[in-house]
Structure 1
C-alpha cells in the first residue's frame, strides 16, 4: 500500500499548531508553519534508498535511518523548515530544488570536502554522517544549486560534446581505412571528408562493391552527425539570444556562444564565489601550490574544476592571440617572454575573472583604451 497524506482538515483537528499547504511535484502536503529550526539533516543520495542522519539539538540524540525514494518528500514535507545538506552528486540539484520548494535551506557540498570525514568503511550510514560532520565546519564552501534552465543548457552541451567525439571517431576510422588502400586524406574535418568523397567516386571501379557501399554509409553517418550538431548549436544560440547574462559576457573577446552559455550554466549563482580569482581557481586556471616551511612552490595549472569550460576558455584565448591584430601591450610583451600556451592560459584566467565580474555585478563589458 502506498503512503498518502491525510486530509488537511483532519490534520488541523488533531493539533492546534498552525499548518499551511505546500505544493511540490510529489503532491500537496499540509506542513507546520514554524520558523527555521536549528536542526541540520544530512542526506546520502542514491537511486532508491536515502540515508538520513541528524542530531537533535536539544537532547544530542543521534538519528540515522533509511528512507525509500517515495518516503523522502513526505518526510521533509511534514517537518519544520531546517537546514538540509547533501553531497553534490547525481540528482543532487533536483532534490535540492524539490526540498527548497518545501521551505528548507538546502546546501550542497563537493564530494572531495566530504571524504576526509568518513571515519569507517564506506557505507550509506557512514557517508551520511560524514556529510553532516562536514556541514558543521565554519569554513565549509558549498555548491550553488542550479536551476532547471541551467541544467538543461548543460545537458545540451554534453550531448553536443558526445556527438563531436563520435564524429571525430568516424573521421579517424575513415582516414585509417582509406590509408590501407593507399589514400591519404588531408588534415581537417571538412577537407578530409571532401577528399574521401572524391576518392570513392574516382576509385569506385577499383574497390569491391561491398567496401564502397560501406564507406558511403560511413559518410552518410557523418552527414547525419553534422546535422544533429548544427541543430543543437542553433538551440544553444537561441538560448543565448534570450538570456541577458549570456549576451553581456559574449562581448568579451574570445567568448563565443558555447563559452557564454556554458559559463552561465556552470557558475549558477555568481555570488557563490567570493571573487573572480576564486572562480578562476575553481576552473583550474591558477598554478598548483605545494608550499611548506615558508617556502612558496608553484607548479603548472591545477586543472581542477570543470574541464569543459576551462577548455572553451583556453581555446577562446588562443583565438584572440592568433587573430587579433591589435593585442594589448601587456599581451605583446608577455608573448616575447613566455610560450604561447602560457600566455593563452593567462588570458583565459583574465577572461574567467571578467566573466565573474559581469555576472556578479550585472555590468556590461567595456574594453580598455589599449584594447
Structure 2
C-alpha cells in the first residue's frame, strides 16, 4: 500500500495546488499549476507508478478525474461532507487542504463519490434544469400574488393558474402607470417562465422515454406520487441502484435520524440530510401523495402498469398499499405530519430500490 505515491489536489477554477506524498521514503512535493488537466497529468507522471490522486468534490465537477483516469492515473473524488477535520485546527489554506487529502488517501480514510459518465451527468443537468425552472416559476407567481395582495386585489375563486385565472390577471387595472407597468412585467415574466417549463417538460419526457434509464423510470412511475419528472430525477441522480440495499438507500439519501450517543445515553436528532438533496426533495414531495385515500390504482397507474413486467407491477401495487397504510398508522397516532412524511419518504426510497435494482443487473459496481 505505502509503495504508492499519493497526490492530493486542491482544485479551483484558475489554479490547482498539488501535494505529493511517498510514505515509503517520506518524500513530499508541492506544486501550484494552472487548472489545466494536461498540465496536472504531466506533473503527476513525474512520479514513478503506482500513483493515486484525489481531489474534493465541488463546483469543478469530474472533468479532471475523467481526464486523469483516461491517462492511466487512479484518481478518485472525495466526498466533501465526509472529510476529517480536527476540532482545534483553525487554519485552512489551499496547501493544507491538498496535504490533508493526500494523507487521508494514504491511510484509506477517503470516502469516494461515484463519478458519473458524461451521459449520466448530462441527464442530471437536464433534471436539475427542470427543478430550477419550476422554482423560478413559483417565485414569479409569488411576486405576482404579492403585488395584487398589497393593492387589495384577490382572485375570488379557489383554483389559480387556470385559463380563467390568467384572463382575470390580464383584466386587472392598478391605476398608477408605473405600477401598471410593473404589474404587466410580472405577468409577462410568469407566462414566459411557464412556457419555458412546459418546453423543458416536453423535452424531458422525450429523453426519459429513450435513455438507458427508461426501464427504471417506468418502474418508479408505478408508485404513487412519482411521475415522469420525479422518476427521471431519481433515476439519474442515483444512477446505479445496485450499490445499495433496501435499508442503506435511506441512509445514502440522508433520510435517517442523526445520532449523538455516548456511554449509556443515546439521542437521535433530525435526519442527516446526507447525499443528494435533490433526490431527497423528490422523495419527500412524492411521499405526501401516499396520504391521500387509496383503494385501487387510478387510470394513470393502470396505464403505467402496462409498461412494466408482472413482477414489477405486483411489487409496485404492494408498495402503494403499504405506504398508504403507514400514513394511516401515523395519522391514527396523531404523529406530526412533517415527521410522518419523512418516515414515509425513507420507506418510499426502499420501495424505489426494490423496483429499480432488479432492472440493473449489468450496472458496474462503484463506490458510494
- For Structure 1 versus Structure 2, the TM-score category normalised by the shorter chain is 0.7 to 0.9
Unaligned runs of 5+ in 2: 297-320, 362-368
* Corresponding position of 2:27: 61
> How far apart, in 1, do the equivalents of 2:44 and 2:84 lie?
26
* Corresponding position of 1:302: 272
Tell me how large the CA RMSD over aligned residues is: 2.9
* Corresponding position of 1:287: 257
Alignment of 1:106-145 (within 5 A): 106-116=75-85, 121-138=91-108, 140-145=110-115
* Corresponding position of 2:222: 251
Aligned to 1:103, the other structure's residue is in SS state: coil
Shift of 1:97: 1.4
Q: Which fold has the larger relative contact order, with Cα–Cα distance below 8 Å and residues 6 or more apart in sequence?
A: 2
> How far apart, in 1, do the equivalents of 2:176 and 2:43 lie?
67
Aligned to 1:224, the other structure's residue is in SS state: helix
* Corresponding position of 1:262: 233
Q: 1:53 to 1:146 in 2, by over 3 A?
A: same
Alignment of 1:112-191 (within 5 A): 112-116=81-85, 121-138=91-108, 140-185=110-155, 189-190=160-161
- Does residue 39 in structure 1 map to residue 32 in structure 2? no
State the 4+ residue runs in structure 1 displaced beyond 6 angstroms.
none
* Corresponding position of 1:207: 175
Q: 1:90 to 1:129 in 2, by over 3 A?
A: same
* Corresponding position of 2:199: 231
* Corresponding position of 1:93: 62
* Corresponding position of 1:83: 52
Count of aligned pairs: 324
TM-score (normalised: structure 1): 0.76
Unaligned runs of 5+ in 1: 1-36, 365-371
Shift of 1:94: 1.7
